[in-house]
């Protein structure tokens, strides 16, 4: 039987498996491998995200776009009373994904095995073998006819200014991982959060929930901009010719920026919401991104991106209000500037940072620093053994702007020599290199459906690998054994 291994069971891997189970017309064996114990949560939707909210209303988060009520229905089955415009917990969303996988598996009757393990190497099929070989970190092997890389969000970048405190309990490099545990009276009184985006908001709110005396928070980023709040905006007010107007300006970053400003003003003028313009841009982002020259893309990343990011990646309303309250109460101070150094002292960490646009240096003593700069998507900086081996073998290659890797329109990987690697696919945030917008559910669910259709299509039209070694996968299965 044809086998498809999906490495990574976060949103992208799970969504691909669900769509594949629904669409495959001939039997397929799916092997879903992830190094986390949760069934289908990945980084964003694990049980530890119970206190964090989705930044999009329930009606826009269903796995299947044609069933917008699916997530709210799932929540109702859990005994919750929710409306389509409610912002639900990220942990609940992870359980919803696991439920979708479970239902799709049950109704398809096909085999979908969840393996708990870390893939460290991928060996390409040679003439005498038609299967990909996946090496796991504990020495087990998995053979598969096709492989989907759904390895998701990497850890944040290592910052040179933090070199001196790396590895100490004064520094949290990965805010989504475990935090140092200490008795409340020993918890830091003052902390520095590096970055002022959605990750900072998550960390600040988590810290604010701690005990009767949460720490005083200083948040620092180059521009010091906080994400805009989300609203349940009224789609009915959308300007009818917005898409055509944007398309008319494609090919020029300058014109596009002007058009986005003017559409937003127009929409606000007729009682609409500028957020809808951002959504329209997102809906045709691959086309607009594809039409820009390399120079304009670089210009976008340098000058426009900081503004785009705070309007595009928005805060759930309750989180925005809570941050606002924290700021007004003096519990959170947001500054624009850059970190120059962090030194361990007996009192904690001595931080020197420079105000944006000035030579003025500021000194702060904090008990802990959290790296809230977000995932470092540069493949060359990856700490993953799998990514390192894929890069060194030339099976994957970074795009020129280091946003992701080179891929075809079907999500097939393009190698360092510019050749399509047959049978190796990618889905996840690295699609930014091709489409720019590729990190949220609304984009990734479409990619997952299209990839599943492509994979299912190859099954309908006959085996992609004729004479594939039927049943040859020798998986030493270790489902949930650690």
Q: Work out how close the CB of 33 gets to ligand FAD at its nearest, in angstroms, rounded to a whole number.
A: 5
The owner of tokens 């919750």 is: 80
Q: N- to C-terminal Cα distance for the chain?
A: 28
Q: Work out how close the CB of 371 gets to ligand FAD at its nearest, in angstroms, rounded to a whole number.
A: 13
The one-character DSSP state at 115 is: E
Give the 3-state secondary structure of 196-261: CCHHHHHHHHHHHCCCCCCCEEEEEECCCCCCCECCCCCHHHCCCCHHHHHHHCCCCHHHHHHHHH
Q: Work out how close the CB of 481 gets to ligand FAD at its nearest, in angstroms, rounded to a whole number.
A: 15
Please say which residue, 10 or 188, places its beta carbon nearer to ligand FAD: 10
Between strands 146-149 and 171-172, the pairing is: unpaired
Please say which residue, 135 or 342, places its beta carbon nearer to ligand FAD: 135
CA distance 341 to 339: 6
Please say which residue, 42 or 215, places its beta carbon nearer to ligand FAD: 42
Q: Work out how close the CB of 188 gets to ligand FAD at its nearest, in angstroms, rounded to a whole number.
A: 22
Q: Work out how close the CB of 22 gets to ligand FAD at its nearest, in angstroms, rounded to a whole number.
A: 18
Name the strands in the sheet holding 28-34, side by side, starting at the edge strand that comes first in the sequence: 111-116, 28-34, 2-7, 146-149, 420-426, 412-414
Please say which residue, 367 or 374, places its beta carbon nearer to ligand FAD: 374
Q: Work out how close the CB of 59 gets to ligand FAD at its nearest, in angstroms, rounded to a whole number.
A: 13
In the numeric block, which tokens belong to residue 318? 């309750």
CA distance 247 to 290: 12
Please say which residue, 147 or 253, places its beta carbon nearer to ligand FAD: 147
Angle formed by the axes of helices 90-108 and 11-23, nearest 10°: 20
Q: Work out how close the CB of 251 gets to ligand FAD at its nearest, in angstroms, rounded to a whole number.
A: 28
CA distance 52 to 99: 20
Please say which residue, 34 or 415, places its beta carbon nearer to ligand FAD: 34
Q: Work out how close the CB of 73 gets to ligand FAD at its nearest, in angstroms, rounded to a whole number.
A: 19
Please say which residue, 292 or 438, places its beta carbon nearer to ligand FAD: 438
Element (H, E) at 335: strand 332-345
Q: Work out how close the CB of 8 gets to ligand FAD at its nearest, in angstroms, rounded to a whole number.
A: 3
CA distance 405 to 398: 4
The residues that bridge with 123 in the sheet, in sequence order, are 133
Please say which residue, 153 or 468, places its beta carbon nearer to ligand FAD: 153
Please say which residue, 42 or 348, places its beta carbon nearer to ligand FAD: 42
CA distance 407 to 410: 8
Residues near ligand FAD, by CB under 6 A = 7-8, 10-13, 33-36, 42-44, 54-56, 90, 118-119, 150-153, 384, 386, 428-429, 439-441, 444
């Amino acid at each position: 039987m044809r086998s498809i291994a999906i490495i990574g069971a976060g949103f992208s891997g799970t969504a691909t498996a669900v769509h594949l189970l629904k669409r495959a017309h001939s039997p397929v064996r799916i092997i879903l491998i992830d190094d986390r114990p949760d069934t289908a949560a990945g980084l964003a939707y694990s049980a530890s995200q119970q206190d964090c909210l989705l930044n999009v209303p329930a009606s826009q988060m269903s796995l299947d776009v044609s069933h917008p009520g699916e997530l709210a229905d799932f929540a109702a089955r859990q005994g919750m009373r929710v409306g389509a415009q409610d912002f639900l917990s990220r942990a609940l969303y992870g359980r919803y994904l696991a439920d979708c996988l479970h239902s799709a598996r049950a109704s398809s009757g096909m085999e979908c095995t969840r393996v708990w393990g870390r893939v460290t190497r991928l060996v390409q099929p040679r003439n005498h073998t038609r299967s990909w070989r996946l090496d796991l970190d504990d020495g087990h092997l998995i053979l598969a006819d096709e492989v989907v890389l759904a390895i998701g969000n990497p850890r944040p970048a290592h910052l040179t200014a933090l070199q001196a405190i790396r590895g100490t309990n004064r520094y949290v490099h990965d805010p989504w991982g475990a935090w140092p545990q200490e008795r409340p009276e020993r918890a830091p009184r003052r902390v520095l959060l590096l970055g002022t985006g959605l990750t900072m908001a998550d960390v600040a709110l988590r810290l604010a929930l701690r005990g009767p005396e949460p720490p005083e928070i200083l948040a620092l980023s180059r521009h010091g901009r906080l994400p805009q709040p989300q609203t349940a905006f009224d789609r009915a007010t959308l300007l009818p010719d917005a898409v055509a107007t944007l398309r008319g300006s494609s090919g020029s970053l300058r014109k596009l920026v002007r058009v986005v400003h003017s559409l937003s003003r127009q929409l606000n003028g007729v009682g609409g919401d500028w957020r809808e313009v951002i959504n329209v841009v997102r809906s045709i982002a691959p086309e607009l991104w594809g039409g820009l020259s390399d120079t304009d893309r670089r210009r976008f990343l340098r000058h426009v991106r900081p503004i785009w990011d705070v309007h595009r990646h928005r805060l759930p309303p309750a989180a925005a209000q809570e941050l606002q309250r924290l700021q007004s109460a003096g519990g959170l101070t947001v500054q624009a500037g850059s970190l120059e150094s962090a030194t361990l002292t007996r009192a904690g960490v001595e931080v020197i940072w420079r105000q944006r646009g000035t030579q003025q240096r500021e000194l702060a003593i904090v008990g802990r620093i959290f790296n809230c700069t977000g995932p470092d998507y540069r493949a060359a900086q990856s700490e993953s053994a799998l990514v390192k081996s894929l890069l060194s073998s030339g099976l994957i290659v970074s795009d020129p702007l280091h946003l992701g890797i080179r891929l075809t329109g079907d999500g097939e990987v393009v190698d360092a020599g510019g050749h399509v690697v047959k049978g190796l696919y990618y889905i996840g945030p690295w699609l930014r290199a091709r489409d720019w917008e590729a990190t949220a559910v609304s984009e990734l669910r479409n990619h997952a459906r299209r990839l599943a259709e492509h994979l299912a299509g190859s099954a309908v039209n006959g085996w992609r690998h004729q004479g594939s070694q039927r049943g040859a996968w020798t998986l030493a299965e270790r489902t949930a054994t650690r």
